A and B are shown apart, each in its own frame.
Chain A
């Protein structure tokens, strides 16, 4: 059985045809428990998520802020294993038909076995991986396996990335490009930096891959602002925070608001934050 890269690509293309951005949601596996995490992800899909990222909790999440650190910690103390992450992928995809990505730091994948991880992720119906601490220069082994198993390799780029790095990254990546909206770790911010729009514009000159923007997006208004220029809006910490508060209704409500935010007609910011001219 092969992976679902094509499903991911088609899903993003369909959103584009509908004249809107896709909503990509992130929740860690095993948080607050394995079954609880699956239920939470299913709830985000019901509420309008187009693509889901399942976090593989790590002991040393250097690109994550306090909210996801805390969630990872709870998942790991609950004993989450890679088999649980793969089960989460399988059950979510089987129940919804949604493309499911795994977001993981490199060491767990490397330790588990790159070939084994790719094969089992594809068998679970996964669409690919986001690997935030694996730069293109170190990624050859993973990309071989990803190609073998029809999995997306989503690289994260940042406003600080040079044109040369961006070109190298979009040439190596598949599925979409993850554009970090700001310089920093994951976590909700009061406003989304203009840097995201600039970075997206730079990427457009280099690639036809969809550009999804994440990091710092916390509410529907910000999602609408990002949707004005990006193909997808990625939201993680703000969703995780609702579960840390133990508020499942808030998770569903926020996801539904975000889903409205990525669609045309959502009231834009009173003062336009971005120039949308390309």
Chain B
């Protein structure tokens, strides 16, 4: 029997009661955070069983985010993918411009239920920070966003957006000054202020229950896309493709197809190439380890020190990945392939020129994967791609990469 409402996930879905997806997940956090995380887990269990909470969440998704998001067939883009039919799930058309708003709203409502008055969040590309600042403005919560100094430079427009929305943006100057260190700094804030503060984590990583809860808030993506594709084509896709950093848009897409005969393909950021050492391909090139509160695949050296990631896209520039992806990877249910900066930027420009859609550079990794997969599968194939965000925030990076006029 198909579970066709989108929230929450069907009973019996992973994780186990202690937060494990197979060998991955769990909760590796200081004792000082255990009480706060227990509170999140308990309140989330109550919230998802509360029709009023579910109705409020669904109402916001429909009338504030603008769901269901469109499903667009990319005819001219598909000509470059061996003639396969390619459909784009348009999370870029959501309010705030990416899938991140689904989770931000869900957790902001949860923070309110818990009586918290302050929300903190990390951000890489700024999409999660903007979505969190937006959800906090809407719900009247105070908002502080930690962002690596390097990323603040790469995503200056999003910094301005967050500040305009009333959030305080705190530059993080430790470590690689990117997403990983922004998460460390947000945890440090939370340890000191669990009483009034909720950590609105942005991806399906972190300690249990964050990977499961955030997946539940994102699974609307796949549930909608599945229904829309069946209506439009009368069949399921051959492959569903998404980019994977922490993996929230990908798990949101994949989860509705887990029991279907559909290939699930995650595109990791290979940066300057997996062989170059400058990449963020945790599943392709990492090994099991503990980072940010859960066991998953991480980029690390032989003594467990985390290695700095690299990607042209700030949102994928992360040396870990959500534990459910680690489980799908080792079980073979999903496949993960590396996509380089150059391949992603090629797809980025190609989509702009063939479809009039400027994707986020993160999402361009999935588009590059679709070009490969479409070509591999041939003209009869039906490929679903999650276009997780729009590319307005990436104009500076694109301008520099392509040497556009504005750069001169």
Q: Among B187, B195, B305, which residue has the most Cβ atoms of chain A within 10 A?
A: B305
CB distance A158 to B290 under 8 Å? no
| Residue A48 lies at the interface, judged by CB distance under 8 Å to chain B | no
CA distance A182 to B195 in the complex (A): 13
- The total of Cβ contacts below 8 Å across the A-B interface reads 111
Of the candidates B18, B31, B34, B292, the one having the most CB atoms from chain A within 10 angstroms of its own CB is B31
Let me know if A107 and B174 touch, CB within 8 A.
Answer: no
Q: How far is the CB of B204 from chain A (nearest CB, A)?
A: 19
Q: Which residues of B contact A159 (CB under 8 A)?
A: 32
**Pairwise interchain contact A133-B300, C-beta atoms closer than 8 A:** no
B7 CB within 8 Å of chain A: no
Whether the Cβ atoms of A160 and B35 lie closer than 8 Å is yes
A76 & B290 in contact (Cβ 8 Å cutoff): no
- Among A81, A135, A156, A169, the most chain B Cβ lie within 10 Å of the Cβ of A135
Contact check, B34 vs A165: say whether CB atoms are below 8 A apart: yes
- Interface residue? B36 (CB, 8 A): yes
Residues of B within 8 A of A44 (CB): none
0/1 per residue, B276-291, Cβ < 8 Å to A?
A: 0000000000000111
- B-contact 0/1 string along A23-55, CB 8 Å cutoff: 000000000000000000000000000000000
Chain B contacts for A108, CB-based, 8 A: 303-305
| B305 A59 Cβ-Cβ under 8 A | yes
Q: For chain A residues 134-185, which have a beta carbon within 8 Å of chain B?
A: 134-135, 137-138, 155-162, 165, 169, 180, 182-185
Give chain A nearest CB distance to B12 CB in angstroms: 22
B32 touches A111 (CB 8 A): no
Query: In the complex, are the beta carbons of B32 and A133 less than 8 A apart?
Result: no
A158 contacts B302, C-beta separation under 8 Å: no
A81-B303, A183-B191, A183-B192 in contact; A106/B31 too (CB < 8 A)? no
Contact B30 A63 (CB under 8 A): yes
Whether B408 is near chain A, meaning CB under 8 Å from some CB there, is no
CB-based contact B305/A157 at 8 Å: no
Encoded as 1 (CB less than 8 Å from any B CB) or 0, chain A from 182 to 194 comes to 1111000000000
**Complex: how many Å from CA A81 to CA B305?**
10
Is B304 touching A107 in the complex (CB atoms < 8 A)? yes
Are B303 and A158 neighbours in the complex by a CB distance under 8 Å? no
Q: With A160-B35, A165-B35 as given contacts, are A111 and B192 in contact (CB-CB < 8 Å)?
A: no
B229–chain A nearest beta-carbon distance, Å: 40
Select one of A62, A109, A180, A182 contacting B184, CB under 8 A.
A62
Asked whether B31 lies within 8 Å of A165 as measured between CB atoms, the reply is: yes
Most buried by B among A65, A107, A155, A182: A107
Closest CB in chain A relative to B304 CB, distance in Å: 3
Whether, in the assembled complex, B397 has its beta carbon less than 8 Å from a beta carbon of chain A, the answer is: no
Partner of A183, one of B26, B28, B32: B32
User: Are the CB atoms of B180 and A138 closer together than 8 Å?
Assistant: no
Nearest-Cβ distance from residue A26 to partner chain B, whole angstroms: 16
How far is A111 from B28 in the complex, measured between Cα atoms in Å? 14
- Known contacts A60-B175, A111-B302; A162/B35 CB under 8 A: yes
Q: Give bound CA distance, A169 to B298, whole Å.
A: 28
- Quick check: A138 and B304 within 8 Å, CB to CB? no
With a cutoff of 8 Å between Cβ atoms, the chain A residues found around residue B303 in the complex are 81-82, 108, 111-112
Cβ 8 A contact of B188, one of A65, A138, A180: A65
Give how many A residues have a beta carbon under 8 Å from the other chain's beta carbons: 41
Q: Which of A84-126 contact B (CB under 8 A)?
A: 106-112
> Would you call B29 an interface residue if the criterion is a C-beta within 8 Å of the partner chain's C-beta atoms?
yes
Residue contact A60 to B36, C-beta cutoff 8 Å: no
Contact A158 B32 (CB under 8 A): yes
CA distance A185 to B175 in the complex (A): 17
B198 contacts the other chain (CB 8 A): no
Residues on A with C-beta less than 8 A from B193 are: 183
CA distance A214 to B26 in the complex (A): 27
Tell yes or no: A252 within 8 A of B by CB: no
Closest Cβ neighbor of A83 among chain B residues: B303
Does the CB pair B187–A69 fall under 8 Å?
no
**Any A CB within 8 A of the CB of B27:** yes
Q: Give the residues from 1 to 60 in chain B that come closer than 8 angstroms, CB to CB, to chain A.
A: 18, 26-32, 34-36, 38
Contact call B306/A59, Cβ cutoff below 8 A: yes
- The complex places the Cα of A73 from the Cα of B308 at a distance, in Å, of 13
A188 CB to closest chain B CB (Å) equals 14
B112 contacts A by Cβ under 8 Å: no
A58–B291 Cα distance when bound, in Å, is 11
- A138 in contact with B32 (CB, 8 Å): no
B194 interface residue, CB < 8 Å from A?
yes
Q: With A108-B304, A135-B29 in contact, is A160–B289 under 8 Å at CB?
A: no
Whole-angstrom distance between the Cβ of A140 and the nearest chain B Cβ: 12
13 A-B residue pairs with CB within 8 Å: A58-B305, A59-B307, A62-B184, A69-B174, A108-B305, A112-B304, A132-B30, A137-B18, A138-B28, A156-B32, A160-B34, A183-B32, A184-B192
Residues of B near any A CB (own CB < 8 A): 18, 26-32, 34-36, 38, 174-175, 180, 184, 187-188, 191-195, 289-293, 298, 300, 302-307
User: Contact residues of A with B, CB < 8 Å?
Assistant: 58-63, 65-66, 69, 73, 76, 81-82, 106-112, 132-135, 137-138, 155-162, 165, 169, 180, 182-185
**Beyond A107-B291, A135-B31, A165-B31: 9 further Cβ-contacts under 8 Å?**
A63-B30, A107-B290, A111-B302, A111-B303, A111-B304, A138-B27, A156-B32, A158-B30, A169-B31
Nearest 3 interchain pairs by C-beta: A111-B304, A158-B32, A184-B192
